[in-house]
């Protein structure tokens, strides 16, 4: 009985800017599911919306933040993590969530990502990975799988891909996880754990681009794409996902890494307080 | 021939009834994953070895995660060849789960076989006909009284509850071992020594208590046939309180973009696409409230509301 009550207690409409709905995303786009899971996690954590700041970059993922009825900030391409770093340092009382995409985060903003991971500031970064630059016309992105057709790789992609989670882990993120949109409750739990984590949390959300990516590659309609996610994933968490040069078809999901590292904001404030005390005394 | 049989002293009555005492003793242990079927078979095997007998054991396991079928054959005697027990050839059948016991009943020796079962139900998912709340299941309907009455030497006890009362539900298998030890007639000390050797150190005390509780139960049941099956605690009500639950699926047509995810992913096929390519609720009564449509709607167009009305009896 309790679990039934708990499920129905969350109404996504309470967290949306209803005057902007319905949102601009294409039919079947996984970003909507990711957005709902984020709001669900926020609801469960009981975060005050006045204390929630959502920072977005450019692209389909960048537009998702606009629909959240909280403090939202639409920034320049690839730089949401840089803006969020400044925001969190100035206002450590806020819960800062960054929503970014695979192109925004790994290509244009790749440099910002690794340095945000390295600093380990208490920010939660959701990377909505749909393997394509959807908004700008379907160009190849750093996570587009091998042989996939995009508008810049009409004969199939030949470039190897990034494993964003391994990249974030190696760069120093203290919490790294991945989940598919098909598993919305698990995604909610992962985002919840990421927000609760004290330090930089990187969550890769495997999302579907049905209009520009799925259709060109004959991956089926939105329902087929979301169903195939489950056969592609290995719910191993920290376990034994096989090492593959090209990412999908066997991807590990769950919490992939969690390290105890000093949170940068605290270190920074402690040091500056020491220095201030030193000059005054 | 008779001298060889003294290695494993049997219950006098059973030994007298046994036409071929040199034959191997066949013990079958059945249950579902995670109950301790293999622990019982290890005890039996070690016990056989201690008595200088040949022991053969074979098992099907690995479904532990799913609560799937697990069974184990233990055969011991002066000379044992086959590691498996044929139908109608088991001297004892130990069932850690009630329906699993019924499944393997035909392996028991029709006239002398000992049947010892835990009456606690573990309902497998495939026994569920429908995912609706309060739906009936295909789970075995036979009562312990019916089954025990049909068998030469049958015992049905709620070993799980006995173990629970002792403090650890995981000791239910040891309770059944205690019951079996009375039937096979070996000295309790010998069994206890083997059990203590096999269980983790910190659980020795609880396992000893569980073994003795099982033995005490069996001794009482032997004295009085009326006590051979538990009447009162066998069938427990489901743990979920009874309630009238109904689900209400609402679709906001203004937000729906007709992506078809909800229609194709609803496990009960409640939803359909209208001619205007908007999802509609076609079979509202079939909804089980799983919320998949609500969770996976990228356009926030679906909401599933649960209406709970506690029934008068709950």
Tell me the pLDDT tens digit for each residue of B132-174. Answer: 666 677 777 777 878 887 887 888 888 888 898 898 888 999 9
Using one digit for the tens of pLDDT, what is the confidence trace for B2-41?
344 444 444 444 444 444 446 788 999 998 887 888 899 9
Which residues 272-291 of chain B have a CB within 8 Å of chain A? Answer: 289, 291
Whether the pLDDT of residue A232 is over 90: the answer is: no
Q: Which residues of B touch A181 (CB under 8 A)?
A: 296
Quick one: pLDDT at residue A2? Answer: 43
| Any A CB within 8 A of B296 CB | yes
Residue (of A69, A137, A130) closest to A105 by Cα position: A130
Which residue in the block uniquely carries the two structure tokens 């259709």? A215
Q: Which residues of B touch A14 (CB under 8 A)?
A: none
Q: Which residues of B touch A16 (CB under 8 A)?
A: 300
Residue A165 and residue A256 in contact, taking contact as beta carbons nearer than 8 Å: yes
Burial code (b: 16+ CB inside 10 Å, e: under 16) for A135-150 equals: beebbbbbbbbeebbb
Quick one: pLDDT at residue B6? Answer: 42
CA distance B90 to B135: 36
Q: Spelled out in words, what is the top-level CATH class assigned to the domain B243-310?
A: alpha beta
Whether the pLDDT of residue A241 is over 50: the answer is: no
DSSP classification of residue B286: G
Pairwise CB contact (< 8 Å): A27 & B257: yes
| Any A CB within 8 A of B269 CB | no
Using one digit for the tens of pLDDT, what is the confidence trace for B89-116?
999 999 998 888 888 999 999 888 899 9
Residue B119 and residue B234 in contact, taking contact as beta carbons nearer than 8 Å: yes
| Any A CB within 8 A of B311 CB | no
Q: Which residues of A touch B134 (CB under 8 A)?
A: none
| Any A CB within 8 A of B227 CB | no
Q: What is the CA radius of gyration of chain A?
A: 19
Superfamily of domain A10-280: Thiamin diphosphate (ThDP)-binding fold, Pyr/PP domains (3.40.50.970)
Pairwise CB contact (< 8 Å): A28 & B240: no
Pairwise CB contact (< 8 Å): B261 & A28: yes
Going by pLDDT thresholds of 50, 70 and 90, the confidence category of residue A266 is very high
Residue (of A23, A28, A33, A48) closest to A187 by Cα position: A33
In chain B, where are the structural domains located? Answer: 2-228, 243-310
What are the structure tokens assigned to B119, written together?
């009456």
Residue of chain A minimizing CA distance to B262: A223
Most B CBs within 10 Å: which of A30, A32, A34, A187, as the mutation test of the B interface?
A: A32
CB atoms within 10 A of CB B171: 27
Question: Residue B259 is nearest to which of A4, A5, A27, comparing CB atoms?
Answer: A27
| Any A CB within 8 A of B139 CB | no
Rounded to an integer, the average pLDDT of A106-129 is: 95
Q: Measured between CA atoms, how close is B160 to chain A, in angstroms?
A: 25
Residue of chain A minimizing CA distance to B298: A32
pTM metric for this prediction: 0.68
Q: Spelled out in words, what is the top-level CATH class assigned to the domain B2-228?
A: alpha beta
User: Long-range contacts for A4-9 (Cβ within 8 Å, ≥24 apart)?
Assistant: A4/B245, A4/B289, A4/B306, A4/B308, A5/B306, A5/B308, A7/B291, A7/B306, A8/B304, A8/B305, A8/B306
ipTM of the predicted assembly exceeds 0.95: no
């Amino acid at each position: 009985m309790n679990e039934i009550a708990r499920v129905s207690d969350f109404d996504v409409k309470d967290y949306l800017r209803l005057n902007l709905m319905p949102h601009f995303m294409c039919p079947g786009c996984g970003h909507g599911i990711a957005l709902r899971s984020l709001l669900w996690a926020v609801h469960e954590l009981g975060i005050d919306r006045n204390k929630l700041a959502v920072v977005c970059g450019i692209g389909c993922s960048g537009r998702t933040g606009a629909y959240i009825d909280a403090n939202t900030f639409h920034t320049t391409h690839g730089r949401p993590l840089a803006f969020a770093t400044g925001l969190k340092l100035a206002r450590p009382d806020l819960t800062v969530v960054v929503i970014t995409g695979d192109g925004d985060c790994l290509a244009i903003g790749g440099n910002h990502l690794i340095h945000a991971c390295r600093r380990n500031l208490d920010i939660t970064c959701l990377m909505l990975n749909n393997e394509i630059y959807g908004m700008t016309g379907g160009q190849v992105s750093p996570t587009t799988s091998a042989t996939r057709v995009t508008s810049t790789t009409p004969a199939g992609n030949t470039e190897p891909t990034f494993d964003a989670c391994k990249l974030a882990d190696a760069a120093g993120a203290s919490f790294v996880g991945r989940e598919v949109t098909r598993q919305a409750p698990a995604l909610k739990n992962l985002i919840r754990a990421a927000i609760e984590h004290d330090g930089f949390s990187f969550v890769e959300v495997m999302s579907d681009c049905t209009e520009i990516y799925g259709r060109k590659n004959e991956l089926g309609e939105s329902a087929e794409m979301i169903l195939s996610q489950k056969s592609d994933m290995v719910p191993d968490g920290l376990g034994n996902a096989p090492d593959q040069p090209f990412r999908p078809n066997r991807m590990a999901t769950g919490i992939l890494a969690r390290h105890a590292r000093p949170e940068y904001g605290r270190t920074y404030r402690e040091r500056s307080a020491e220095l201030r005390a030193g000059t005054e005394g | 021939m008779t001298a060889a049989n003294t290695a494993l002293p049997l219950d006098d009555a059973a030994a007298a009834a046994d036409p071929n005492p040199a034959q191997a003793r066949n013990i079958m242990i059945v249950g579902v994953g995670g109950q301790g079927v293999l622990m019982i078979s290890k005890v039996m095997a070690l016990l056989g070895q201690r008595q200088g007998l040949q022991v053969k054991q074979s098992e099907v396991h690995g479904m532990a995660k799913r609560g799937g079928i697990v069974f184990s054959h233990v055969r011991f005697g002066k000379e044992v060849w086959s590691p498996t027990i044929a139908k109608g050839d088991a001297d004892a059948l130990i069932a850690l789960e009630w329906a699993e016991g019924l499944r393997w009943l035909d392996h028991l020796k029709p006239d002398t076989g000992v049947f010892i079962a835990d009456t606690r139900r573990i309902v497998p998912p495939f026994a569920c006909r429908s995912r609706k709340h309060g739906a009936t299941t295909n789970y075995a309907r036979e009562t312990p009284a019916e089954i025990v009455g049909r068998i030469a030497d049958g015992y049905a006890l709620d070993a799980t509850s006995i173990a629970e009362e002792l403090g650890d539900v995981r000791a239910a298998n040891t309770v059944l071992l205690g019951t079996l030890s009375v039937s096979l007639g070996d000295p309790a000390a010998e069994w206890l020594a083997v059990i203590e050797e096999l269980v983790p150190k910190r659980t020795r005390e609880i396992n000893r208590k569980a073994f003795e509780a099982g033995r005490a139960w069996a001794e009482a049941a032997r004295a009085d046939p009326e006590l051979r099956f538990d009447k009162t605690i066998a069938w427990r009500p489901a743990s979920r309180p009874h309630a009238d639950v109904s689900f209400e699926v609402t679709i906001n047509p203004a937000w729906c973009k007709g992506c078809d995810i909800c229609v194709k992913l609803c496990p009960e096929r409640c939803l359909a696409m209208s001619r205007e390519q908007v999802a509609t609720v076609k079979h509202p009564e079939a909804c089980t409230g799983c919320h998949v449509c609500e969770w996976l709607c990228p356009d926030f167009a679906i909401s599933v509301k649960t209406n709970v009305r506690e029934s008068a009896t709950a």
